[in-house]
């Protein structure tokens, strides 16, 4: 085979390898956002829809830098800002109300237009700054997911439903959960990009690094003295797809630690608890011990009260929703949440019920993540 033929085949293989890395990063990003939406869903009430749009620049091309390093080149971003980015928005992940989040198998592509809502989304893409817009009486909060160059590579849009006085109905606490989610996503995405050597080069400079496996361990080139002073990256400690499940596990443990003997005593003190409290306790027992739950479906409060100590107090600390819950439990949990909102629990001012209710919401997130992971791998 001639030298030209060898170079041609090497070039084709190189381009396929680069495309594989790009596709792998986008696939992993979609899975991360999916888990993030499952996690965020347990903390947000009255959210009508959550959507993740991926910003795909039409003028981005894969090129080969020095030493065979992958890089994406674009026209100067300062020029792009002056005239708007030439990108499309691809709908990758969606979550509707209490339904589980899903990755769109056939993504919808939004092109820039004079449409009021699209104009809002593309403004967020252009500026990489959060935006808020009232669209047809519904409030939209849009948050950019930025790459290492602080350019929006994606947008998380949260539709909170009907506006009240033109303001978002997210509480300060809920808004903080959204900010935390975006910070985690940005941190993980930037480390993935750095790890695989896939960086967007807006200044047409070469990138120093090699293509690495997306989930592989990064090569350490620092001296021993320098390495001792470097904090380990999050991806050296955890696999990307386990970040939000681990966060959910930590929250479950925190909730369980708060359910002290005094909390159980407060539940026992009820003579005739409100229906919301009773439904919550029965649902917890249903998850922990289905056989016992079937025997108390139509029993009195006195019978349920006996199981608080013998079932909930003894079993909740060792219960692992990731290992125990199945598809049929998701239907029951979703039905329970549809009947019993966080506002219903809050109205009664029962701290024990609030803790158990949040524990159930965490279980939903854990189950959604587990089923999504099982269906992906």
Domain ranges for the chain:
8-237, 243-376
pLDDT for residue 83: 54
Residue 23 or 271, more confident: 271
Q: Which CATH number fits domain 8-237: 3.40.50.2300, 3.20.10.10, 3.40.50.300, 3.30.450.40?
A: 3.30.450.40
- Checking if the pLDDT of 126 tops 60, the result is yes
Rounded to an integer, what distance in angstroms lies between the CA atom of residue 47 and that of residue 27?
26
pLDDT above 70: residue 219: no
Which residues, 6 or more positions from 119, have their beta carbon under 8 angstroms from its beta carbon?
A: 112, 113
What number is the average pLDDT over the span 48-77?
63
The whole-number pLDDT of residue 19 equals 59
Average pLDDT over residues 14-23: 60
Nearby residues of 201 by Cβ (< 8 Å), 6 or more positions away: 65, 71, 72, 73, 74, 207
272: how many CB neighbours lie within 10 A of its CB? 8
Residue 20 has pLDDT above 80, yes or no: no
- Which of 197-201, 252-256, 284-288 is the least confident region? 197-201
Is the pLDDT confidence value at 217 over 60? no
Rounded average pLDDT over 231-242: 63
Query: b/e string for 26-50 if b means 16 or more Cβ within 10 A?
Result: bebbbbbbbbbbbbbbbbbbebebb
Mean pLDDT across 37-48: 89
Q: What is the pLDDT of residue 9?
A: 58
Where does residue 117 fall: left (phi above 0), alpha (psi -120 to 50 degrees), or beta otherwise? alpha
150 pLDDT more than 80:
yes
Residue % of the chain over a pLDDT of 70 = 72
- Of the candidates 254, 323, 262, the residue with the CA atom closest to the CA atom of residue 287: 323
CA–CA gap between residue 356 and residue 246 (Å, rounded): 20
Question: What letter does residue 217 receive in the DSSP assignment?
Answer: P
Question: Could you read off the pLDDT of 278-335 as tens digits, one per residue?
Answer: 899 989 999 998 887 777 666 678 878 888 888 888 899 999 999 888 888 888 998 9
Q: Is the pLDDT higher at 52 or at 328?
A: 52
Measured CA to CA, the distance from residue 201 to residue 207 in angstroms comes to: 8
Per-residue pLDDT tens digits for 64-94: 444 444 444 454 444 444 457 888 999 999 9
Give residue 28's pLDDT band: very low, low, confident or very high (50, 70, 90). confident
* Residue 212 predicted with pLDDT over 70: no
Mean pLDDT of the chain, nearest integer: 78
- The pLDDT assigned to 135 comes to 86
Per-residue pLDDT at 241 exceeds 90: no
pLDDT of residue 214: 31
- What confidence tier does 38 reach under pLDDT thresholds 50, 70, 90? very high
State the pLDDT at residue 77.
46
pLDDT at 139 over 60: yes
């Amino acid at each position: 085979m001639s030298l030209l033929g060898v170079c041609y085949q090497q070039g084709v293989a190189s381009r396929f390898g680069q495309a594989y890395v790009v596709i792998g990063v986008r696939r992993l990003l979609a899975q991360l956002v999916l888990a993030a939406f499952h996690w965020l869903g347990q903390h947000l009430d009255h959210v009508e829809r959550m959507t993740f749009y991926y910003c795909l620049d039409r003028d981005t091309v894969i090129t080969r830098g020095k030493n065979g390093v992958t890089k994406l080149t674009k026209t100067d971003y300062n020029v792009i800002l002056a005239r708007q980015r030439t990108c499309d928005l691809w709908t990758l992940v969606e979550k509707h109300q209490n339904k589980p989040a899903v990755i769109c198998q056939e993504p919808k592509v939004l092109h820039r237009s004079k449409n009021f809502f699209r104009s809002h989304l593309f403004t967020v893409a252009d500026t990489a700054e959060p935006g808020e817009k009232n669209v047809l009486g519904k409030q939209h909060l849009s948050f950019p997911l930025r790459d290492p160059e602080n350019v929006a590579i994606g947008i998380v849009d949260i539709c909170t439903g009907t506006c009240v006085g033109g303001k978002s109905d997210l509480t300060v606490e809920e808004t903080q959960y959204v900010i935390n989610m975006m910070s985690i996503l940005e941190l993980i995405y930037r480390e993935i990009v750095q790890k695989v050597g896939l960086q967007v080069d807006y200044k047409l400079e070469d990138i120093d690094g090699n293509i690495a496996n997306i989930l592989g361990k990064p090569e350490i080139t620092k001296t021993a003295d320098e390495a001792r002073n470097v904090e380990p990256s999050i991806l050296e400690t955890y696999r990307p797809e386990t970040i939000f499940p681990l966060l959910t596990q930590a929250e479950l443990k925190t909730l369980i630690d708060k359910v002290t003997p005094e909390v159980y005593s407060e539940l026992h003190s009820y003579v005739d608890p409100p229906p919301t409290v009773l439904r919550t306790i029965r649902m917890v027992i249903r998850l922990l011990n289905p056989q016992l739950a079937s025997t108390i479906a139509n029993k009195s409060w006195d019978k349920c009260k006996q199981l608080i100590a013998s079932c909930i107090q003894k079993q909740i600390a060792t219960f692992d929703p990731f290992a125990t819950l199945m598809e049929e439990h998701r239907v029951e949990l979703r039905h329970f949440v549809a009947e019993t909102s966080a506002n219903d629990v809050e109205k009664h001012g029962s701290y024990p019920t609030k803790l158990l209710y949040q524990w159930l919401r965490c279980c939903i997130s854990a189950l959604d993540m587990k089923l999504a992971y099982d269906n992906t791998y």
